[in-house]
Chain A
Amino acid sequence: MRWIRTLALSFLALTAAACLLADFIAPAPYDHQFRAEPGAAPSRQHLLGTDDLGRDRFSRLLYGTRVSLLLAPAAALLSSLLAALIGGTAGFMGGKVEKMVMAGTDLFLSLPWLFLLMTVRALLPLNVSPIVSAAITFLLLGCLGWAAAARVVCADARSLRNSDFILLARASGSGGFRLLWRHLTPNLLPVLFAQFWISVPAFILTEANLGMLGLGVAEPLPSWGSLLRELQSYSSFAGNPWQFVPLLLFILLVSCFQLVMVQEELPA
């Protein structure tokens, strides 16, 4: 099965490279409206046609993928770090601390995410550029997405706390921060790694869902959310198969993330 992983990684690398080089590859700026050709079919000038406002779909796909592929892993990294800090500490400390932290985590998990995001977005300043709005969206996702991972990390830390090698380390005089940093954290890494890979597609999907609601990354900056929003209604299925390319790429990339993640879990 290694070849599948290699294939998935290669596809991710290829897509990432294409997106990073979007400034050179894209045939047009992502926000330029070719107003004489709204909703145009694919042509030499516009490889995937144009959207409803006449913007080049291929360019928007490249830039949109760049936004989602750069910011979703960053948000996943943030949420994994928070999960490690909160869950790891709670599991390592045990007792009342663990109970209190886990109760707080449960409470956090029970919050209605969508409404919370909408509220937080409404409270933010209005005059922010699209790039900043994209960064804020993913920062919010990162700050709000740690809770489920923290529970897993806590359970793992708890089992490690009671393991023989930790007991041995304690007996040898290790304690406090050293025990946590040198002995516990390296053993939590496989779980954190898996949580990271799970979070990436989850955040991409969440941003896409927010985009469907008109929240998230602001116009004219494209993201998968705004690209997929074109397919929101029945009226979009007007026999234009090229409209489905962002969806296809999205499915492929999320599948690749999942394949990579499964392969990462196996050695652990």
Chain B
Amino acid sequence: MRQRSFRMILVVSTFLMAMTASAQSRGELHFCLHSEPKTFNPLLAEDDSSETIRYLTGGVLIRVDRLTQDAVPELATAWKISNVGKTITFKLRDGIRFSDNTAFSAEDVAHTVRQLMDPELHSPTADSFRSGEGKVEIRVLSPNRIAITFPAPIAGLDKLFDQVAIMSATSPKKEMAVLGPYYVAEYKAGSYVLLQRNPNYWRHDGSGKQLPYIESVKLDIQQNRDTEMLRLLRGEVDFINSLDAEYFDKIMSQNPSMAHDAGVSLDSEQLWFNQVASSPLPDYKKEWFRSTNFRRAISEAINRDDLARIVFHGHARPAVGPVSIANKFWFNSKLQPHPFDRTSALQRLNQDGFQLRDRVLRDRQGHAVEFSIITNSGNKYRERMATMIQQDLAAIGIKLNIVTLDFPSLIERITRSFDYEACLLGLVNNDLDPNSQMNIWLSSAENHQWNPNQKSPGTNWEADIDKLMRAQASGLDSRKRKNYFDKVQEIVWEQEPFIYLVNRNALSAVSPSVLNAHPAILRPQVYWNIDQLALGNEVARKH
């Protein structure tokens, strides 16, 4: 009985929502891009602004639902993965047209995939599809069926198509002809990008009304975050997609109805020690950094709760490992954040011959334990975290020197010269599937930051990770893949090559006049359901 009532309420509220939305549709939605879009070609989008435009204008075969994290049909009504994960066959929606009225067919998908995989184009989106040597085979089976075969199996293949906006093979407008809810109507460099509603957009709401509800979207190019926030409070922009903790609290104090904390995101902050054998560090320091006990001790001496509470004003959560708790499927729920325990940290250090004497920790040979940590200058959150870690480590007799470097200098040190001791950086994660982390976990990978580009794994546990990552990447059974990746998480938790500190929350601000907004933890947090957003009457009039 209770379940039936709940369903009834749900149906009624959905109906009312649709009615409300259709009642006030149209108007212009305003928000800010923080930089100039570098391209309108969806296959070349790499920067945030270009990706925003791709998301708003591009039609994709499959979309990852930002709330459920499942793959849902868009231009493809059905798909099937076969041939041990090498082939994906799509059945396409009929009767769809691009924004310039060109008909959509399997030929367009074939054209897009050919373009995507063209090595001359250097598409950043294509990297995830490059599974092995050889050509991609594309077979157009009928106007609405297509099969794409990759040279090697690709794990999580279907979800990768979330990033591939289909382009027309025949339209004279090329990439400007789109299948998404909006098309680029006007672009004034340095000022704004104006998107207009695509009259041929395929999706309709429950009452049969064509989406999107909002007539146009104006993306103002605004680098300054302060100005963006003032404009939001003045009602000149309708939302801020991603906020930091201080801005969030400011909005919370002034207008609580605008502030949205969607919870823990996929983004993490972590530190690691340089374990590169050829690095120009003294041998005794290399020995420290290669010791699991040393890394675990440092990890246990850091108060992650304080980092989350003080640095991120409570809008973060102590991190467990490489996967955020927000990644519902892939997170290993057996793991817990490393506890803050100075006594245990000192015990671990004692096992390695370290002794705390006169408030100074010394190794077996009598060297005082002192090291530097580098981070990128201008990021106040990382600087604050480093300062708090400095005090935490001072309590166990370790002297930490904080060095902030401009980003190019920092990258030079961590990727080429390896002239650093520890590094504190964050990882912005957009992809749920662990396959996207192959370039981090394989010991031969460039982004295996603590010891990259190894010819053969330097330690047994790195060899185990290599095997498990390769096994999960070649598997199709998601349960088996999950088992493999759970083990990777356990090894990383145990060995701590990366000391994961916190996962930040996904914070955003949305004007109450924007209807149907349900900020999610996945990017783009606020406008992931852009075609269903609507403007309240007041805002519609104002614009």
Contacts and interface: CB of A to CB of B under 8 A. Distances in A.
Interface of A: 31-33, 35, 38, 52-54, 118-119, 121-122, 126-130, 213-215, 218-220, 229, 232-236, 238
Interface of B: 225-226, 229-230, 246-247, 249-250, 253, 306, 310-311, 370-372, 374, 376-380, 383-384, 386-388, 390-391, 401-406, 409, 412, 419-421
Contacts of B372: 126-127
A118 B390 CA distance: 23
Nearest to B387: A219
A238 B383 contact: no
A234 B387 contact: no
Contacts of A38: 310
Contacts of B377: 213-215
Tell me if B's interface is mostly helix, strand, loop or mixed. helix
A214 B379 contact: yes
Nearest to A114: B406
A215 B226 contact: no
A218 B403 contact: yes
A183 B449 CA distance: 63
A59 to B, nearest CB: 15
B226 A35 contact: no
A133 to B, nearest CB: 8
A53 B404 contact: no
A153 B311 CA distance: 49
Nearest to B229: A234
A32 B412 CA distance: 33
A235 B250 contact: yes
A161 to B, nearest CB: 44
Nearest to A125: B372
B374 A126 contact: yes
B306 A233 contact: no
B388 A126 contact: no
A127 B379 contact: no
B250 to A, nearest CB: 5
A233 B246 contact: yes
A208 to B, nearest CB: 15
A229 B380 CA distance: 9
Nearest to A239: B253
Contact of B225 (A213, A233, A236): A233
A213 to B, nearest CB: 6
Contacts of B370: 127
B404 A238 contact: no
Nearest to A216: B404
Contacts of B390: 219-220
B246 A235 contact: yes
Contact of A219 (B249, B386, B421): B386
Contacts of B374: 126
A33 B409 contact: no
Contacts, number: 85
Contacts of B371: 127
5 contacts: A33-B387, A33-B391, A122-B412, A127-B421, A233-B226
A129 B409 contact: no
B392 to A, nearest CB: 9
Contacts of B419: 126
Nearest to B230: A234
Given A53-B388, A214-B383, 10 more contacts: A35-B306, A52-B311, A122-B409, A126-B421, A214-B404, A220-B402, A233-B226, A234-B225, A234-B230, A235-B249
Output the residue of A38, A214, A232 with the most chain B CB within 10 A: A214
A235 B402 CA distance: 25
B405 A127 contact: no
A238 B419 CA distance: 41
B232 to A, nearest CB: 11
Contacts of A35: 306, 310
Which A-B residue pairs are the 5 nearest by beta carbons? A214-B377, A122-B409, A234-B226, A126-B372, A235-B246
A234 B250 contact: yes
Given A126-B372, A214-B404, A238 B310 contact: no
Given A52-B384, A121-B405, A235-B246, A126 B420 contact: yes
Nearest to A51: B384
Nearest to B245: A235
A235 B406 CA distance: 24
A126 B384 contact: no
Given A215-B377, A234-B229, A122 B384 contact: no
Contacts of A54: 310
A130 B401 contact: yes
Given A54-B310, A214-B404, A238-B250, A220 B226 contact: no
A52 B230 CA distance: 23
Output the residue of B311, B371, B403, B420 with the most chain A CB within 10 A: B403
B310 A53 contact: yes
B421 A214 contact: no
Nearest to A52: B384
Contacts of A235: 226, 229, 246-247, 249-250
Contacts of A128: 401
A214 B230 contact: no
Contacts of B253: 238
Contacts of A213: 377-378
Nearest to A132: B401
Given A35-B310, A233-B246, A218 B378 contact: no
Nearest to B233: A234
A19 B427 CA distance: 41
A242 B388 CA distance: 23
Contacts of A126: 372, 374, 401, 403, 419-421
A33 B377 CA distance: 22
B249 to A, nearest CB: 7
Output the residue of B383, B401, B402, B404 with the most chain A CB within 10 A: B401
A53 B392 CA distance: 13
A122 B406 contact: yes
A220 to B, nearest CB: 6
A218 B378 CA distance: 13
Nearest to B405: A122
